[in-house]
Structures are given as structure tokens and as C-alpha cells.
Structure 1
Amino acid sequence: MNAPSHLTRRRALQLAAATGAGMAAVAATGPAAASPGGPTSSVFRHGVASGDPLPDAVLLWTRVTPDPTATPGSGAGPRVDVGWEVATDPGFRRVVRRGTSSTGPARDHTVKVDAVGLSPATTYWYRFRCRGTTSPVGRTRTAPAVDAPVARLRMAVVSCANLQAGWFTAYRHLAARGDLDLVVHLGDYLYEYAPGEYQARDVVVRPHDPAREMVALADYRRRHAQYKTDPDLQALHAAAPWVVTWDDHESANDAWSGGAENHTEGADGAWTARRAAAQQAYAEWMPVRYEPGGSLYRRLRFGRLATLSMLDLRTYRDQQASSPLDPELSAPDRTIAGPEQLQFLLDGLADPQVQWKLVGNPVMISPVRFPNGLESRAVEGIAELVDLPVPPVAGAPYNVDQWDGYPAERAAVLGHLRDRGITDAVFLTGDIHSGWACELPADPLTYPVTGVSVGVELVCTSVTSDNLDDILGTPPRTASLTVETAVKADNPHVKYLDFDSHGFSVLELTEEGAQMDWFVLTDRTDPHAAAVWSTSWRVPAGTARVERAAGRLA
């Protein structure tokens, strides 16, 4: 997500609780009151996780602390063997796979195991052992067989979880549901800033460790470790397999192939070294089939119902334009995905073997023009939210860090959908700290007249990171309402917009349609906050349309 500039990152703001008339509350429990998982031992103090489910395999993850010297990022501690088991029951009476993996300081004592030889569409439980200690138990699930009919697929969709800005209560509520096939995290799993640089209005809810901006490998390892000591995050990792990608804050704000807004070569060293450190720590600490030097973008399949193509929109992109009016925006060779990844995306969208083509899309692809008629403070607030490099201009692209800054490549994607008659393409997006439901115009200029849409974009809000009301210093659902109305008026393909809320989304796919529910937190700075159902939007199969749903998912 485009964070505010360094001056505004340190600007004091204050928090107000999120409320909404007619919203139904989900009962709140205490932090980490979720199963599976459980108390974390001194050896397995960072929990367990699984990810990237295939029909016959799933990736398992943990981190061990075999002795007091083996602290994250220290480069110290012994090399040890870690045993693992996979069972079809939580009591491990029916163990179906087991093995041993070695780890040590070279990979920060993290363990990643690809547990193969499993059965499709099956729930499993897993655990690790090291030096006489057993880890918490995790629950995971394999994907359906490639050609299997699938009646339903349900997943959490989350993004932008800044530990300094609040508690991960959203993760706790998701872990307690018990109905998720997987969790899709669309980026900004953690943030690079030092304490006091980017937090919850005027409060650093939980200061970052180390107490400096992440730059070196040890910094990134320690920050990953700090996030994974959060009990609510551990609970959700233990409850379902995750499918993840990074956005910018896993390395530095507004990252691109050759640098980042929040990186200075003189003070921070070479960008190539910093990015390599961030990517190595990510490979070590995340339950993902990725190792440094490989490609993070990948595709998972869920029977004949859906594919999920996860994108990496930071590693290969050209530098962001200097302004929304920069003539460079029209260059036909500007890229956000890179040529190989773009072809990977187009191929996945054209797959005739599956119905729903989901895209894990770290930044918004919908064209959004800056609206007319806003008061100056609202204009400043939006500019700060999306980190515009210059004052915004009505009618110009809203955010050049998104696909709006790479219009030729976006046109190639939308034209591909239109020209091939592809149906049921849904882009799942994070980054922008707000909730959106948008149709993807075949032609943004003619859409107000023709209404021709080639796909849909559903955007989840932030878990904790600042929204527009936080920047404006106003109560939620007050000043932002005028801004939302103006954005939708000038962008009629935007059907739903919430600039204020923090929380999570749940997406369900069936043959008949796709539906996303948005849930918001009553107070991100309260570890006992309730999660409140806000709204639901539905995509009827074969329509490329989004409409308000009759109610939340059962």
C-alpha cells in the first residue's frame, strides 16, 4: 500500500470506533481463542502454518528455537533435526506421512516441508517435534482433484496488517469460523517502518522490533518473527492453508524493479541487496512454494470450479510515473507485471477447463479517476492515502502505483477478456486500505453508455492499516461518505466503496455465482473487538456484473 510520506507518517492522529446502522455483530472472544493451535512452547514459539495446497500435497512450516542463542536474525544456534507428522485425525492415531527435516542458522531455523502423497479434498492435521518438544497442532486441507466437480469453495481474503496500527483481531475471528478452505493474503503481511513512523493515528499500539526500519537480512528476519508471535496470527495460520503474495511493505514502500519510494541508496545501501534480504526472509518465514531466485507468481487449481493465479506486481514493474499527468503513462511498453508474468496471467484467464478464474492481485486494476468537487481537506486526504507524488487533478488517474499507472498493460488484460469472450474472471485485490466492488469496463470511456463489463474486482480492506477517516481525523462513516459518493459518481463501474473500515472479507464460489462478505472491526486498537458484518456483493455466473447480495453467506 502507498503509505503516507515520511512527514505524514509521523503525524499524530486519533482513533474512533467503527460503527454502522443495521449491521449484525459477530460475537467476540478473547485473543487467540481459536482451535487448532494452542499454547506455543519455548521451542515452537512462532507457531505452525501450511500453504499452497495441491490435490496431493501441502506445504508445512514452522520455526524452532532449539536453544537460547538461536534467536531470529542472530545467525547463531545449532543445526537440528525436526520431525513432522501428518494425520487424518487431530489425535494422530492415523498418521499417513512423517519425516525429518534439518534446519539451522543458514535459514534462520525455519522449516518448510512439502508433504506429498496425500489425498485430494481431504482435511489433515500436522505437527512437528524437536528436542523432545511437540509443536502446536495445525489443520490443513488439500485441493480437490484437477477434474473433480466442486460444489463450493470458501476462502478468507485479507491484506495490509500493520502490527503497530492495531491488534490482529480480524485473524482471530477468521480462525474461529471453522468453514474456510483457505486464506488468501494479498500482501503487506508486515511493514518495514521503525516505531513512530506509521501507526494508528496518534498511537503506536505495538512497537516494531527491531526498533528501526528493516534494511538488512537480520532486520527482516526479526520483524517476521515478531509478527508470528502474535497469537491471533498463529491461530489463523494453524486453522487453514494460506496462499500468499507480497506487495511493497514486505520490502519497502512503493517498491519497483529498481528501487522504492522508501529507499535511499546512500543511507540504506544498494536496493538489490535490500530486496534480496527481504525476499530471503520471506522465503524462510512464509508457508509458500518460493525460494530466492525463483518466481513468486504461481497458479493453484481447485477442481473444475476455479483457478487462483497469484501475481507479483513489485519485482518486475517499471518505476511509477512522476504524476498522474506524466506523458510516460501512455508508453506502450510500460510494465507492471513483466512480459513473462503477463503471459502467465493471460494464459490462466483463458483456461477453458475451469469456471472461475480468480486472480490474486496486489494492487487495483479497476480504472479510477480522481473525482470533481471535493473540499480541499478531502482532496489532501485521498492524496495522502494513495501517496500521490503531486497534488491530484480531477479526471486524472487516482493512483499511479496501481494498474492505473500502467494503462497499456491493463488494456492488454481487459482486451484479452473481451476479445476471447472469457467469463467469470474475478480479481481479488488488497493494498488500498478500503473495500471496493467494481466492474471492469471493456472500455472505460464508453462504459457509462454501454455498461459493457469484462470482469469484476473485489477489494478487501486493511486488517489494521490507516484508512481515509484515520488520515482525516474524523469519525468513521462521516466525512468519507461525501468522498465515496463523488468517486462513484465519476466512476460508475465502482458499485461499492468503503474508505473507512478495518477487517476482513470472506469469498464463496459455487457454479451459480461468487459472493464476498465484508466484515469490519469495532476498534482495531482493542484486542477484544467484535467483527461486524457490513455488506455482501454477488457476481452471478457468466455476467461479469456485481450486484448487492440479499444477505451474508450462511
Structure 2
Amino acid sequence: MVVRQGVSRRGFLRTSTVAIAAAGAASAVPAVAHAEGEEFVPFQHGVASGDPTPDAVILWTRVTPTPDATPGSGNGPATTVRWRVATDPELTALVRSGTTTTDSGVDHTVKIDVDGLVSATTYYYCFEVLDGAAAGIQSVVGSTRTAPANDADVQRIRFGVVSCSNWESGYFGAYRHLSSRSDLDAIIHLGDYIYEYETGGFAGKNGVVRQHDPVHEIVSLADYRIRHGQYKSDPDLKAAHLSVPWICTWDDHESANDAYDGGAQNHQPETEGPWAVRKANSVQAYYEWMPVRAAGTPQNRHLYRRLRFGNLLELSMLDLRTYRTQQVLPFQGTDVDSPNRTITGADQMQWLTDGLVSSPTRWKIVGNPVMITPVLLPPLESEATRALTALLGIPEGGLPYNADPWDGYTADRRKLLSAIAENDVRNAVFITGDIHSAWACDIPLDAACYFETGGVATELVVTSVSSANVDDLTMTPPHTLGRVAEAALTTLNKHIRYVDLDSHGFGVFDVTPSGVQMDHWYLDAKEDPLTGVYWGAGFAVLDGVARVDAAVLPVRT
């Protein structure tokens, strides 16, 4: 059965208006003319919100006060910006407002943590430049929503879920289709929001669909700022940010491929300088350009954090790059089992296990950048094997471990899963990105004993927005060689219930007291900026049962 996502009149009108307004093509206030007679608008990168709590939300924008004040340039004067929050889209019923100053020290980004709000309430917001050549110009009006009160009896929360959006590999049709929906409470991005590669560094069978800026691999603070700015120039991404808050974490490509605490596979100190400097550059740009609220203290800021949605769910967002020890090669065998190796770091592991064990909510959702389910790879047809090993980062022979996700850190995985099992933690669901493919899995404490013990948790993995997967890497038609690999994976790994290695798109994750469901929506063609979308599969987990089961239909909008 093929189900296509319909776009309501409301959704169509909203998406069309958003795309026009976000691109700066229409505005109630004239643009500003500069010396060459051309026009520029100060809010070229849209507006965004994020990390909703019952009484607060992050609001974000970026101001271009003068034509030369482009991202990463260091140009442009300090600029005063007014922000307003109201309960109506005309912004007449104001509830909060204020002014702030931004400058090149933060790349002219603006980020406000607005508190004093009412729980479970939709708000509208905008920004306005108060001085300089752009004085009086307002941004497009965005909408956001606070989380329910912690003790609220919540019957449904619905998230869009995305991962791995590579500018060069295709258009962001997944974001366009998410922005057309009117049923989402937030969008969760599980990592690889940007890619660090030079142009052509990770393309696939369709080559470079659109070129990265800068064209070289990004290393400096200016480089990361420019790349973030390019991504937020995309009209579909701006549209998706405009209507709902986002909850984001990073994976590796926000800094460099296969990053760990002391370096990265895609970092060469002899030509690119110390890893600590590059990592700091990427982190600074990320916090400037993303609508995220750091946790911890100013002296010990960190990205892993927890958000609660009434009595229904807690969402624990992980950082699995900053604290991990270096990956080992899969053929190093028992090295992956060493208790001295960690993917979370000790503090984050304690925070995660404590939170899961003590959570008072029905569902314990973990925003997990890399797969935790054990995956064993059997011998495959040679082309499929090469594609999988390139994607998963394992030797061409197809050995049992992919050492970059939790398979390379089995002591940490056992510690976490043992805490879930020994404390009888019900309804732990990991939602995951990274691997450019869609999966539905039961997570066993011991894969060898799965038939006797079943799972202790479940994992629902979303595919990439655009990043290359198996058919892209093998230069073959979709669902040909990939089907061979999918069958082999699910045959050897009975706890893996579903794999799609060739599709691109997004997930819609629906949470109710009786169960959760992840619907996989797949694009017709990521290379087409106007691509359609269809429902490829859905998988549900019932309350109290650590098992995924196929859904007959997508959840209703």
C-alpha cells in the first residue's frame, strides 16, 4: 500500500507564504537599497525557535545589518533588535518583548530565552531592527509552542524527526513536507544538520546537486559560520523552522566525520591545526546559529539535556561525540568490549541512567545520534558489501562490528541496557539518525539470547534528509542491491524487524499513553526540489511491551 501525504489548503497556503516571506521576496516593509542600487533584507536566514519548556522557549534569528555583513565575514556594525511575543499572529496581544544588541562577535545572530510563558500555548513572534540602514524592518512572523506542564495529563505529542541533511546531495524536500503539516508539536533533529566536507567530498551517484559554500572543507570559525548561513538560506529549511520549535543535537558532521574526544577521522592536525581549536570553532558556530539551550553551567556547558512533555514523555537528547574515546577498527575484536572505552563519558552516562530509572513519565524517549541496536553483517554480494562498509565504516569483508555507533562501545551499551532491565524501566524508546537508512528494532540485552529473553527497549531509526545511502554509493537503482543487504541483515539479526537502505525522507513520531508509532515518509526524488512524498512504512510500540510491530496505516493528521 502506498499512502501519499496530502497537503491541506491551510498547509499549502502556509508553506507557500512561508517560502516567499522567508526568502525575502515579500515584505510589508521595503527592503533597503545600498550604493549599487541593489536591495538587501536584514533577515535573510529566517527565524526559528527551540527547546520548549512549560514556561520558556528559545527564539532565534540572524541580522544582516549591511550588505557586506555576510555570515563569517566579521563585517557590520553592532545592531539593536527588538523582539516581540504575542498570542495572536498580528502581534497585538503582546505578552513579552524586549531589545538586545548583536554584533560580529556572535556573527550577528540573536538568541533569546523567553520565559514567563504559559504552558501548552501557541505563541507568535518576530524581530525588528531598530537602528542603522535597516531600522524599522521586521522579520517574518514565526510561531512556536510551549510544552505542557509537568503534571499535565497529556494524551498526544507528535514530532517530526530528521537527520543527515547534506546540502550537496540533494534538496531539502523533507523539510518542505514537514512544514506543510499542521499536526506537529516540535521537530527533532538528531544530528548532521550541516556537513563539513569540501565540495564533492560526499556526494553519491547524482554528484553535486548544489555546491557547498565555502567550497573547501570547513575548519575555521568563519568557515563554520558561512556553512551554517548557507544551510539556513534554504527556503524549505526556513519554512520548517518557522512554524514549530526544534529540538536538536549534533553528531559528527557539525564538526568533522567520525569525531571523538581527541580528534576525528576527517581531521589532519598537520595541515588543519589542533583538533581542540577546530572543535571549539564548530561548537561556537553551532550555539550561535542553532535554537538550542545549553545545559550545565557557563563553566561546564554541555548539549545533552532533557525536555519533558507532561506526564506522557521525557526526551533525553544525547551528545555522543564530545566525550567518546577514539573508535577502534572492527577487526580489533575484543577491544570494542573494553570497560575503559566510552561513547557517552561517565557524567553523561550517570545522567542518562539516573534519568531513565527515575522518570515519572509513561514514555522515556532517548534522542540518540548513532544506533544502539547490535548489528551483525553476514557475507553479502560484493557491490552491496562495499556500499554497506563504506556507509557503516567497517572493513570490506563485512566483519560483525561497526565501531562508530554503540557496537564499538559494548561496555557502555551493556551498562545502560542493564540499568533499564534491572530497574524494570518500561517504555524506553531510542529514536536515532546517522545511518542514512530507516530501521525498526527490538534492543536485546544480549543479541545471542534474543529468542529467549526478547528486548529490553526499542529503537526507531529515521533515514537521511538527503545524505547518500546504499543505492547512491553503489550507483545502482534504488531497491535493487539494497534489498539483498536488507534481507541479509534481518535474516541474521532477528531483533531487527525492518530496514530500508535506499530511501530518503523524514519520520513522524506519534506518542500517546497507549503506544508510540514512527511513520517513515519517503521522498520520490531528493534531487527534485518539488519532490513528492509517500508513506513507506510505520512501526508501533505498545505501552509496556519492548517490541516493534508493523503499522497498517500512518497516524492520522
Q: TM-score, normalised by structure 1?
A: 0.93
Instruction: Give the match for residue 147 of structure 1.
Output: 151
Instruction: Give the match for residue 408 of structure 1.
Output: 411
Give the CA deviation at 1:38: 2.2
- 1:422 matched to 2:420: no
**Alignment partners' CA distance in 2, 1:306 and 1:180:** 15
Instruction: Give the match for residue 254 of structure 1.
Output: 258
Partner residue of 1:204 out of 208, 214, 231: 208
Distance 1:473 1:460, change over 3 A: same
**Alignment partners' CA distance in 2, 1:30 and 1:445:** 52
Give the CA deviation at 1:332: 1.1
Which secondary structure does the structure 2 equivalent of 1:135 belong to? coil
Which secondary structure does the structure 2 equivalent of 1:62 belong to? strand
**Alignment partners' CA distance in 2, 1:50 and 1:181:** 12
The one-letter code of the counterpart of 1:386 is L
Instruction: Give the match for residue 489 of structure 1.
Output: 491
Which secondary structure does the structure 2 equivalent of 1:446 belong to? helix
**Contact 1:309/1:360 (<8 A) preserved:** yes
**Contact 1:31/1:172 (<8 A) preserved:** no
Distance 1:266 1:230, change over 3 A: same
Provide Cα deviations, 1:369-403, integer angstroms capped at 9, x if missing partner. 1124x112221111111122x33345x22x11000
Q: Which runs of 5+ in 1 are unaligned?
A: 1-21
**Alignment partners' CA distance in 1, 2:527 and 2:517:** 29
- 1:385 matched to 2:391: yes
Give the CA deviation at 1:35: 4.4
Give the CA deviation at 1:489: 0.8
**Alignment partners' CA distance in 1, 2:53 and 2:47:** 18
Partner residue of 1:157 out of 157, 161, 179: 161
**Contact 1:37/1:238 (<8 A) preserved:** no
Which secondary structure does the structure 2 equivalent of 1:78 belong to? coil
Give the CA deviation at 1:411: 0.3
**Alignment partners' CA distance in 1, 2:202 and 2:516:** 35
**Contact 1:168/1:233 (<8 A) preserved:** yes
Give the CA deviation at 1:442: 2.2
Instruction: Give the match for residue 350 of structure 1.
Output: 357
Instruction: Give the match for residue 369 of structure 1.
Output: 376
The one-letter code of the counterpart of 2:393 is D
Instruction: Give the match for residue 241 of structure 2.
Output: 237
Instruction: Give the match for residue 117 of structure 1.
Output: 116
Partner residue of 2:227 out of 223, 226, 246: 223
Q: For residues 542-553 of structure 1, what are the structure 2 equivalents within 5 Å? A: 542-553=544-555
**Alignment partners' CA distance in 2, 1:64 and 1:215:** 23
- 1:341 matched to 2:348: yes
Give the CA deviation at 1:323: 2.6
Which secondary structure does the structure 1 equivalent of 2:330 belong to? coil
Distance 1:32 1:293, change over 3 A: farther
Distance 1:542 1:36, change over 3 A: farther
Q: For residues 97-136 of structure 1, what are the structure 2 equivalents within 5 Å? A: 97-130=96-129, 131-136=135-140
Distance 1:292 1:533, change over 3 A: farther
**Contact 1:59/1:288 (<8 A) preserved:** yes
**Alignment partners' CA distance in 1, 2:329 and 2:279:** 22
The one-letter code of the counterpart of 1:25 is R
Which has the larger displacement, 289-298 or 43-52? 289-298
Give the CA deviation at 1:34: 5.7
- 1:33 matched to 2:12: no
**Alignment partners' CA distance in 2, 1:364 and 1:324:** 19
Q: For residues 429-440 of structure 1, what are the structure 2 equivalents within 5 Å? A: 429-440=432-443
Which secondary structure does the structure 1 equivalent of 2:441 belong to? strand
The total of aligned residue pairs comes to 528
**Contact 1:27/1:530 (<8 A) preserved:** no
Provide Cα deviations, 1:43-84, integer angstroms capped at 9, x if missing partner. 000000000000000000000001123111011211111100
**Contact 1:31/1:231 (<8 A) preserved:** no
The one-letter code of the counterpart of 1:249 is H
**Alignment partners' CA distance in 2, 1:154 and 1:323:** 37
**Alignment partners' CA distance in 1, 2:358 and 2:182:** 31
**Alignment partners' CA distance in 2, 1:538 and 1:279:** 35
Provide Cα deviations, 1:295-342, integer angstroms capped at 9, x if missing partner. 000000001000000000000000000234343212112100000000
Which secondary structure does the structure 2 equivalent of 1:43 belong to? coil
Structure 1 consecutive aligned stretches of length 4 or more whose deviation exceeds 4 Å: 27-32, 34-37
Distance 1:435 1:495, change over 3 A: same
- 1:213 matched to 2:203: no
**Contact 2:19/2:236 (<8 A) preserved:** no
Give the CA deviation at 1:292: 8.9
Distance 1:163 1:32, change over 3 A: farther
Sequence identity of aligned pairs in percent?
A: 50
**Contact 1:31/1:232 (<8 A) preserved:** no
**Alignment partners' CA distance in 1, 2:464 and 2:17:** 21
**Contact 1:324/1:405 (<8 A) preserved:** no
- Relative contact order, higher structure (CA 8 A, sep 6+): 1
**Alignment partners' CA distance in 1, 2:338 and 2:270:** 30
Distance 1:191 1:352, change over 3 A: closer
The one-letter code of the counterpart of 1:96 is V
Which secondary structure does the structure 2 equivalent of 1:33 belong to? helix
Instruction: Give the match for residue 514 of structure 1.
Output: 516
The one-letter code of the counterpart of 1:387 is G
Give the CA deviation at 1:27: 4.7
Give the CA deviation at 1:350: 1.0
Give the CA deviation at 1:279: 0.2
**Alignment partners' CA distance in 2, 1:34 and 1:144:** 29
Which secondary structure does the structure 1 equivalent of 2:447 belong to? coil
Distance 1:50 1:320, change over 3 A: same
Distance 1:30 1:478, change over 3 A: farther
**Alignment partners' CA distance in 2, 1:440 and 1:392:** 25
The one-letter code of the counterpart of 2:435 is I
Provide Cα deviations, 1:66-104, integer angstroms capped at 9, x if missing partner. 112311101121111110001111111211110011110
Distance 1:84 1:292, change over 3 A: farther
